[in-house]
Amino acid sequence: MANNASFHMPLVPARPGEAPDFSYVRLSPAGAVRKPPIDVPVPYTADLAEELVRVLDDRHQAVGPWDPGLAPAELQRGLRYMLLTRIFDDRMQRTQRQGRITFYVRSFGEEAVSVAAGMALAADDMLFPSYRNQGLFIARDMPLVEMMCQLLSNSRDMCRGRQLPVMYHSKARRIFSISGNLATQFPQAVGWAMASAIKGEPHIASSWLGEGSTAEADFHHALLFAKVYRAPVILNVVNNQWAISTFQGFAGGEQKSFAARGPGAGIAGIRVDGNDFLAVHAVMSWAAARAREGHGPTLVEHVTYRAGAHSTSDDPSRYRPKDDYEHWPLGDPVMRLKQHLVALGAWSEDQHIALTAELEAHVAAQWKEAVSYGTLQQGPSLDPALMFDDVYKERTPRLEKQAQQLHEERAIHMRNKAGAP
């Protein structure tokens, strides 16, 4: 009997010291992928799930059937949100390095994924983000100072000091609470969408996770429930190639796209250039219309690259080439939209410099305001007794007792600190 089965480890294209290699990324020319009607039957999305929807070509022109035809003012708004996201990220990363906040996660290189989606979806649609979707909050005009107060766990922290930095939420902007546990938001988004359909409401839900998190059971539950109940939901896999140090091949990305899990599970699948603002906008609009018109859910794979570290606790130079991102074939989403606007004659280098300066000043001013509400180290601070609230709607007698105990502990601690006997 033949025994040729050998143990396979997914290949990682390049490690530190090696030349970056992105030959594994399957590309389609801009404008080449067909755009089917929103009621396309699931099996006829199989090719879309393996191709790559792109709108911007190498000459910075919008081409092909997926061109969303956005007015220059709308494109400028997109550029503004993406640039703001990047400047906010850079500034917050620096404050973490200065020890003002404990932890941060940038979305560097992935700004289009969130910003274009945030602009393409309706204001009443419900978003279930992951921790690298700050662009959704920014595209829904969340004041940065509110996000900064969360990062600082200060007296105005929306989470009352309970969540790790970046785990925002906003009921007013219809953005769900971010979990630190991966993929849990996926079936929740489907349940939200099921409820919308049960109630006969026109609102859809959308959720995001990284390609690494597709390995979690919750990803599969979400696809299954979305398929079974034809839930009006868009499920997004942000394939940024890396889950901390784990290459996407270890999540099953070798030889098969993540979008293909959609048709495999019985829902539409589509793979899009995640660094192409126009393509993401067009695909999200298409999937939203499909969901809203009752044609069912869509799994969207956004092909992008995590240009920075996973978080401030990570050092990617230990597991991938330092110059990897410079060779990434899909470029930089901010620069690509900028160049498109320039090519349209709707933007200039001077305008870009002025916008950058304006947004940097805005972020600095928001930060100044945020720290006036306290930092982790300096007041004004939250009352620690708040930790006993919101465990339940009402404090239980046991929690009341513990709050009293903490109060006494702190009184002793303060006395000791003050040097009293």
Among all residues, which ones are annotated catalytic? 306, 310, 319
Return the number of the residue (351 or 381) whose C-beta is nearest another protein: 381
8 binds another protein (CB under 8 A): no
Rounded-to-10 torsion of CA 129, 135, 139, 144: 100
Do the Cβ atoms of 265 and 227 come closer than 8 Å? Answer: yes
193 binds another protein (CB under 8 A): yes
Backbone φ, ψ for residue 31 (5° rounding): 80, 0
179 binds another protein (CB under 8 A): yes
400 binds another protein (CB under 8 A): no
Return the number of the residue (8 or 393) whose C-beta is nearest another protein: 393
159 binds another protein (CB under 8 A): yes
Q: How many CB atoms lie within 10 A of CB 242?
A: 22
Give the helix/strand (H/E) hosting 417: helix 397-417
Measured between alpha carbons, how far is 310 from 108 in angstroms, rounded to an integer? 10
160 binds another protein (CB under 8 A): yes
163 binds another protein (CB under 8 A): yes
Q: Looking at 1, 43, 71, 392, which residue binds another protein (CB under 8 A)?
A: 392
Q: Looking at 205, 272, 279, 299, which residue binds another protein (CB under 8 A)?
A: 205
Return the number of the residue (51 or 218) whose C-beta is nearest another protein: 218
Q: Scan residues 270-309 and list those touching another protein (CB under 8 A).
A: none
- Whether omega before 202 lies within 30 degrees of 0, making that bond cis, reads no
Helix axes 349-372, 72-97, angle to 10 degrees: 50
Do the Cβ atoms of 279 and 54 come closer than 8 Å? Answer: yes
Q: Looking at 35, 60, 77, 221, which residue binds another protein (CB under 8 A)?
A: 221
191 binds another protein (CB under 8 A): yes
Nearest alpha-carbon partner for 334 in 109, 134, 133: 109
Number of residues near another protein (by CB under 8 A): 47
Measured between alpha carbons, how far is 34 from 53 in angstroms, rounded to an integer? 8
Return the number of the residue (124 or 141) whose C-beta is nearest another protein: 124
Helix axes 277-292, 111-120, angle to 10 degrees: 40
Q: Scan residues 128-147 and list those touching another protein (CB under 8 A).
A: 128
Strands 242-243 vs 246-247: parallel, antiparallel or unpaired: antiparallel
Q: Looking at 148, 190, 278, 309, which residue binds another protein (CB under 8 A)?
A: 190
* Minimum CB distance to another protein, residue 246 (Å): 20
* Minimum CB distance to another protein, residue 110 (Å): 24
* Minimum CB distance to another protein, residue 291 (Å): 14
Measured between alpha carbons, how far is 122 from 118 in angstroms, rounded to an integer? 8
* Minimum CB distance to another protein, residue 392 (Å): 5
* Biggest CA pair distance of the chain: 84
167 binds another protein (CB under 8 A): yes
Q: Looking at 66, 88, 192, 286, which residue binds another protein (CB under 8 A)?
A: 192
Number of H helices, E strands in the chain: 11, 7
Six-digit token string for 100: 């003002």
Residues that bind another protein (CB under 8 A): 126, 128, 158-160, 162-163, 167, 169-171, 176-177, 179, 181, 184, 186-196, 198-199, 205, 217-218, 220-222, 224-225, 228-229, 389-393, 396-398
